[in-house]
């Protein structure tokens, strides 16, 4: 908060020169020395409110002067001015970008990565420097004196070359006066230029792959070439790994066994099929006699209940196994359960 050091020391002394002891069976036991924090009843605590409300109000004043806060007039909050302020607000282009990022069909971690990059929250050197002083903030690859997110992912000659060689064939020079946010808005939100869905996937995959490549260089001194970066992006999109999960519970509804398995799958049916397969195998292992399989894949559940499967070459073997496993039980029921009822399994996926 920028308080003078002397003042901080003074307060710290108030906190750390006292000691507490606890009454145990009526007699005080041990001495506890606090290192931080004030408790209710402490002689200092009435001042906390004054000190912090002062700081808070001058902070709000400063924001109001810069136009970041609406609804404050002459230091007072009024509903009328808040209302007038709100009327001026339009949905910002950023919120359109967030919406777009969460809709791109890539693994969740890549969505989070893209979101962090756009929020200026990836630990590029200049970003880190704002949190802790760094001795140097230059780009490891090209010695550009300040490595920002835009520099690392777009302007660095290496990144620039990757974008040029990619199917987007972009000359990043055209963005030389733009921020990383502008770059994201241009490709994902701009009404004229935004990419079709399939290309949006590739776009964020390349961003992610460039960042991987940068980390491999910085932390492991691995030097990659342009094709490595593009291939990693494309491979990631082609072999999307799915995490499947199932939850076992007894009739008291307490989960007795949870599992999360990673597979490479080609269809949702295959994913659910494999998940059921894994659950049944576990049920056989645990010598259950009357398992009930709940899944949110309606068509699969119908097929298994009827004992008839309609699978392709990849799913056929899984489905045959499921039939085999289910014949091992005294009874085995397949029940459709909407996704909302199975939040534990879906939590596990993430
Ligand atoms: Zn560079």
- C-alpha of residue 198 to centroid of ligand 1, in Å: 28
In this predicted model, what pLDDT tens digit does every residue of 75-122 receive, in sequence order?
565 555 555 555 555 556 788 899 899 999 888 889 999 999 999 989
Residue 163: pLDDT band by 50, 70, 90 thresholds?
Answer: very high
- C-alpha of residue 279 to centroid of ligand 1, in Å: 49
Contact 134, 145 (CB under 8 A): no
- C-alpha of residue 140 to centroid of ligand 1, in Å: 6
Residue 154: pLDDT band by 50, 70, 90 thresholds?
Answer: very high
- C-alpha of residue 113 to centroid of ligand 1, in Å: 20
Q: Is 292 helix (H, G, I), strand (E, B) or coil?
A: strand
- C-alpha of residue 227 to centroid of ligand 1, in Å: 17
> Is pLDDT at 242 greater than 70 in this prediction?
no
State the average pLDDT over residues 298-312.
77
- C-alpha of residue 215 to centroid of ligand 1, in Å: 12
> Is pLDDT at 213 greater than 90 in this prediction?
yes
pLDDT at position 257: 60
Backbone dihedral angles phi then psi of residue 169, each to the nearest 5 degrees: 50, 50
pLDDT at position 207: 97
- C-alpha of residue 216 to centroid of ligand 1, in Å: 14
- C-alpha of residue 142 to centroid of ligand 1, in Å: 4
Locus of tokens 């906190």:
15
> Is pLDDT at 182 greater than 70 in this prediction?
yes
Question: How far, CA to CA in Å, does 277 sit from each of 246, 280, 310, 315?
Answer: 10, 5, 16, 11
- C-alpha of residue 194 to centroid of ligand 1, in Å: 26
- pLDDT mean across residues, the chain: 78
> Is pLDDT at 197 greater than 90 in this prediction?
no
pLDDT at position 83: 55
Rounded to whole angstroms, the Cα distance separating 210 from 261 reads 28
- C-alpha of residue 204 to centroid of ligand 1, in Å: 19
- C-alpha of residue 159 to centroid of ligand 1, in Å: 8
In this predicted model, what pLDDT tens digit does every residue of 37-67 receive, in sequence order?
666 566 666 666 666 677 777 777 777 777 6
- C-alpha of residue 148 to centroid of ligand 1, in Å: 10
Residue 278: pLDDT band by 50, 70, 90 thresholds?
Answer: confident
Residue 162: pLDDT band by 50, 70, 90 thresholds?
Answer: very high
- C-alpha of residue 108 to centroid of ligand 1, in Å: 27
What's this model's pTM, rounded to 2 decimal places? Answer: 0.48
- C-alpha of residue 118 to centroid of ligand 1, in Å: 19
pLDDT at position 223: 93
> Is pLDDT at 341 greater than 90 in this prediction?
no
- The answer for residues whose C-beta is within 8 angstroms of residue 198's C-beta and 6 or more apart is none
- C-alpha of residue 167 to centroid of ligand 1, in Å: 22
- C-alpha of residue 151 to centroid of ligand 1, in Å: 7
- C-alpha of residue 162 to centroid of ligand 1, in Å: 12
Which one has a higher pLDDT value, 185 or 267?
185
- C-alpha of residue 128 to centroid of ligand 1, in Å: 16
Residue 204: pLDDT band by 50, 70, 90 thresholds?
Answer: very high
Rounded to whole angstroms, the Cα distance separating 48 from 37 reads 11
- C-alpha of residue 217 to centroid of ligand 1, in Å: 11
> Is pLDDT at 126 greater than 60 in this prediction?
yes
- C-alpha of residue 184 to centroid of ligand 1, in Å: 19
pLDDT at position 5: 86
> Is pLDDT at 68 greater than 70 in this prediction?
no
- Write out the E strands in 201-308: 241-249, 255-264, 292-295
Locus of tokens 């209940």:
305
Residue 325: pLDDT band by 50, 70, 90 thresholds?
Answer: confident
pLDDT at position 87: 54
pLDDT at position 2: 73
Joined tokens for residue 171? 């000359």
- C-alpha of residue 4 to centroid of ligand 1, in Å: 39
In this predicted model, what pLDDT tens digit does every residue of 11-31 receive, in sequence order?
777 777 777 677 777 777 777
Residue 155 DSSP one-character state: I
- Write out the E strands in 34-98: 72-73, 76-77
Locus of tokens 């060689």:
165
Residue 35: pLDDT band by 50, 70, 90 thresholds?
Answer: low
- C-alpha of residue 107 to centroid of ligand 1, in Å: 27
> Is pLDDT at 265 greater than 80 in this prediction?
no
- C-alpha of residue 206 to centroid of ligand 1, in Å: 16
- C-alpha of residue 229 to centroid of ligand 1, in Å: 15
- C-alpha of residue 105 to centroid of ligand 1, in Å: 29
Rounded to whole angstroms, the Cα distance separating 68 from 42 reads 36
């Amino acid at each position: 908060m920028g308080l003078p050091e002397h003042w901080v020391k003074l307060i710290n002394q108030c906190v750390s020169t006292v000691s507490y002891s606890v009454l145990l069976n009526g007699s005080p036991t041990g001495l506890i020395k606090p290192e931080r924090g004030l408790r209710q009843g402490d002689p200092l605590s009435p001042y906390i409110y004054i000190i912090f409300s002062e700081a808070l109000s001058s902070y709000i004043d400063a924001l109001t002067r810069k136009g970041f806060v609406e609804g404050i007039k002459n230091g007072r909050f009024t509903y009328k001015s808040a209302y007038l302020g709100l009327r001026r607000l339009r949905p910002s282009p950023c919120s359109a970008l967030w919406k777009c990022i969460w809709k791109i069909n890539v693994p969740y971690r890549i969505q989070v990565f893209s979101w962090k990059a756009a929020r200026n929250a990836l630990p590029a050197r200049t970003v880190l420097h704002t949190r802790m002083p760094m001795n140097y903030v230059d780009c490891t690859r090209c010695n550009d004196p300040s490595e920002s997110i835009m520099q690392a992912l777009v302007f660095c000659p290496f990144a620039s070359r990757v974008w040029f060689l990619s199917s987007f064939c972009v000359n990043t020079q055209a963005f030389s006066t733009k921020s990383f946010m502008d770059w994201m808005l241009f490709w994902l939100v701009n009404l004229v230029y935004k990419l079709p869905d399939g290309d949006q996937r590739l776009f964020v995959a390349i961003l992610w792959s460039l960042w991987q490549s940068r980390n491999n260089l910085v932390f492991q001194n691995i030097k990659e070439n342009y094709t490595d970066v593009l291939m990693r992006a494309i491979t990631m999109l082609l072999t999307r790994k799915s995490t499947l999960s199932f939850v076992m519970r007894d009739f008291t509804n307490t989960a007795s066994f949870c599992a999360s398995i990673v597979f490479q799958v080609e269809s949702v049916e295959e994913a659910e099929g494999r998940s059921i397969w894994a659950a049944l195998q576990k049920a056989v292992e645990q010598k259950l006699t009357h398992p009930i399989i709940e899944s949110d894949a309606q068509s699969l559940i119908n097929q298994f209940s009827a004992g008839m499967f309609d699978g392709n070459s990849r799913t056929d073997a899984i489905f045959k196994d499921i039939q085999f496993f289910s014949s091992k039980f005294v009874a085995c029921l397949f029940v459709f359960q909407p996704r909302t009822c199975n939040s534990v399994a879906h939590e596990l996926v993430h």
